[in-house]
A and B are shown apart, each in its own frame.
Chain A
Amino acid sequence: MTDSILFFFEVLVGGLLSGTMYSLVALGFVLIYKASSTFNFAQGAMVFFAVLSFCGFMEYGMPFGVAFFAVVLLMILVGLLTERLVLRPLMNQSEDTVLMATIGLGFVLEGLAQAKWGVEVRKLSLGIGDFPIPWIADNLKLFISALDLTAGLVAFVMILLLTLLFKYTKIGLGLRAVADDPGAASSIGIPLKHIMLLVWSAAGVVALVAGMMWGARAGVQFALIELALKALPVLIIGGFSSIPGAIVGGLLVGAVEKVLEVYIGPYFKGGIEAWAPYMLSILFLLYRPEGLFGEKIIRRV
């Protein structure tokens, strides 16, 4: 009896922790959604581009820290170019236009990354194994992957930093103002281009971190782009514009898909985790379209 409860907890914790990986990817989407009210289809490509470049720099013999810093700079450059070449010319166009542009941007980033670094799957070692932590396994009888736990911690730190940035800094206030009403924000002198640059750079850095975590587990490969789309149900459940929402949504998707896979999966001959999150998100679309933490649309009557 206790064994089965223990097993349930193991599945649950494993699911929650792998959910933090979804949260990390979703975080990048939220940042951009907040500033441009657009779902950034290029986010997956940014994850791929960032982590592939990281591997490439490491192959050039850069130490870990230097390569990380170099990719951070590279992602800021990508943010800068995106603002200048894509967003600025499309300013004042409808959100759909920007949405389509992000799809194009995704292709460009994918192509650039593969043209420069090739198409083979790379292994990325962060020095953290994807195996159960012995201490927890011995004492609590739970098998929890060290990589999952690290990803959880990293996600937690990123969220904390971003929340503090938005809540308590001047640029964070500017960003929230732009998220609410870009026209009014620009009328009182908040320069939209600075905010866009900040947001895209931050999303780039988040993409790098997410990519490193995913890459360490699944290998640095093209499939990362598809994986990033798992963020879609996460965002629908958590709310597109909410950082806590990205976290809770990610955890929920991770936990639900693992638990369902283990307990109900056999009746469907497995493979439930591939679609269960989407089913869950359809329920949310029907009954709570703004998500758990999404900003309610305030409308005075």
Chain B
Amino acid sequence: MGKDSTNILEVKNIEVVYDNVILALHNVSLTVPRGKIVALLGANGAGKSTTLKSISTMLASERGKVTKGSIDYEGNAVKDQTPSEMVKLGMVQVLEGRRCFGHLTVEENIIAGAYSRKLSRGDLNQELEKIYSYFKRLKERRKSQAGYTSGGEQQMVAVARAMMTKPKMLLLDEPSMGLAPQLVAEIFNIVKMLNEKEGVSILLAEQNTNIALKNSDYGYILETGKIMLEGSAKNLLGNDKVKELYLGISKGKRLNFRDAIKDNENKNK
């Protein structure tokens, strides 16, 4: 696969095991077409973070291992690279829970994102201004200590910091976590803008199915380490099972996901 291929990321049948015993992912495959936003949906513990970490190679630091399958990013097999090597290749992950450098200022946090790039002072300032044009709120708070900013601002810092690495591929882990709906909307707007204007491809792990699908092109639904459903964002939003289980729009009796799948299989028989 060359660099000109239409998919920036191809994950094929991966299996992930933690501590050599705990099976976290089973046979997960997904692709991210270049320049698109793909959502990875599912409940707590479904394996969304694990999937992202196995792609960004952050998994090794949690004693997790990809034991089967393959991950191809830009035609490179992702295997033994370190996260900082992946960043140099243009892939960056925004970790779950924001993880700002609390004692650094907002601006220092963002500048830290440029650590792997060799930028002159002038170029750095230019890059900063560009980042601030997306994250206007952060410009006002640039001198504040990041630990004392609001949750929404911290999430923005985390995304802005990742954008400073000049990524081609952004892995976003639950940007909506713990934030008010208005802020979630604001952050998703920025993410969408980054995708359109900077051309960055995005793989987005979310529990907030509704807002994630409304802002993406394609979606996968993970449950207990397996992909249960996939489709274009539009189809998934209209899908009865998704509506029932993830969007909370119920018709008639309540079903859990497994029953819904079973029902579906029975109907197809």
Contacts and interface: CB of A to CB of B under 8 A. Distances in A.
B99 A184 contact: yes
Interface string A153-195: 0000000000000000010011011011101111111110000
A92 interface: yes
A92 to B, nearest CB: 5
A189 B115 contact: yes
A174 B115 contact: yes
Contact of B165 (A170, A174, A189, A298): A189
A230 B61 CA distance: 35
Contact of A187 (B62, B93, B102, B148): B93
A91 interface: yes
B147 interface: yes
Interface in B54-106: 56, 58, 61-63, 82-84, 86-88, 92-95, 99-104
Contacts of B112: 173-174, 177, 185, 188, 190
Contacts of A181: 99-102
A143 to B, nearest CB: 42
A17 B115 CA distance: 39
B151 interface: yes
Contact of B162 (A91, A92, A183, A188): A188
Contacts of A298: 102-103, 145, 147-148
A295 B84 contact: no
Nearest to B178: A300
Contacts of B111: 173
A248 to B, nearest CB: 19
Contacts of A177: 101, 104, 109, 112, 115
Interface residues of A, number: 22
A92 B61 contact: yes
A190 B103 contact: no
A177 B107 CA distance: 12
Contacts of B175: none
Contacts of B103: 176, 179-180, 295, 298
Nearest to A241: B103
Given A180-B103, A181-B99, A183-B95, A189 B61 contact: no
A24 to B, nearest CB: 24
Contact of A190 (B84, B108, B147, B151): B84
A261 B102 CA distance: 41
A187 B95 contact: yes
B194 to A, nearest CB: 16
B120 to A, nearest CB: 12
Give the most central of B83, B109, B161: most A CB within 10 Å.
B83
B19 to A, nearest CB: 12
B115 A170 contact: yes
Nearest to B101: A180
A187 B164 CA distance: 12
Given A173-B111, A186-B84, A187-B92, 7 more contacts: A170-B115, A177-B109, A186-B58, A187-B56, A187-B58, A187-B94, A298-B148
Which 4 pairs between the two chains have the least Cβ-Cβ distance? Answer: A189-B87, A298-B147, A189-B116, A184-B99
Interface of B: 56, 58, 61-63, 82-84, 86-88, 92-95, 99-104, 108-109, 111-113, 115-116, 145, 147-148, 151, 158, 161-162, 164-165
18 contacts: A173-B104, A176-B108, A177-B109, A180-B102, A181-B99, A181-B101, A183-B61, A184-B95, A184-B99, A187-B83, A187-B99, A187-B162, A188-B113, A188-B161, A188-B162, A189-B116, A190-B115, A298-B145
